[in-house]
Amino acid sequence: MSSIDDLFARLRSEGKKAFMPFVTAADPDLEFTQSLLKALDATGCHLAELGIPYSDPIADGPVIQASYTRALNGGVKLEAIFDMVANTTPQLSMPIVTMVSYAIIYRLGLDEYLKQAKAAGVAGAIVPDMPVDESAEFAAKCRAADFSLIQLITPTTTKQRAIEIAQQTTGFIYYVSIAGITGERTELPPDLLDNLRWLRQQTDLPICVGFGISKPEHVELLKPVADGMIVGSAIVRKIACAHPAEGGKTAATVITDVSDFARTMIDAM
């Protein structure tokens, strides 16, 4: 069992839900990312999703795309990200999972990516551009390494394909709440709860919902049917203010702003 399996087993036994913030690595720099991860852990976040910057991300909206661009313009490399994570995870109680393009994994090599991620203390990976039809090899390697391979199911995924994805997934299922890109939403789709109830009948895996989750009211709506909530754009938008051109706030102020926001979401669970 991975640390993610252990986490959700504990949360279920306590009748609690998981809150997972998304943070782009090296936006604005790796020192900031490390400090923010520590602050989010201290705030009570249960997991953290660390975005590995990529030039052509799939499904990410303008806020997260812009954060990837800022990080890449700063010259960040995967090796430096793993070094930062390795220095950070021993100080955290929450597991870290990477949101990473399969192109990055493939270029490094499946075994090598797993080796480096595990050595850094990473608990799993979300690979949004890896079709389930092509995931069997990597899924088997992840299972053997007790490394969670978290796959995505969307509102447009057919029921048969959703079942196939669930069978290849470990850790938790990432359920995409909307048919579209990431970004804050005022309202969530009316059929979301029904879709989650159907999926809950197909698998025992924890189901975490992302895309569009941005306020405590969304948490209140989803917590009867989901095991966790993932928030990205609402947090990354606040992080952008650490850049002079985006608001020019100090790193400490931005970390406080993000932590305060995370606390309001956790309190709604």
Burial of 210 (0-12, 13-18, 19+ CB in 10 A): buried
Residue 97, phi then psi, degrees to nearest 5: -120, 145
Exposure string for 178-199, b = 16+ CB within 10 A, e = fewer: beebbbbbeebeeebeebbeeb
User: If we measure between CA atoms, which residue out of 4, 90, 107, 6 comes closest to residue 47?
Assistant: 4
Residue from 27, 49, 184, 227 carrying the catalytic annotation: 49
Residue from 60, 79, 133, 246 carrying the catalytic annotation: 60
Active site residue 60: yes
Count Cα neighbours of 4 within 13 Å in the Cβ-side half-sphere. Answer: 32
83, 29 contact by CB (below 8 A)? no
Active site residue 257: no
Report which residue type is found at 143: R
Q: Where in the sequence numbering do the catalytic residues fall?
A: 49, 60
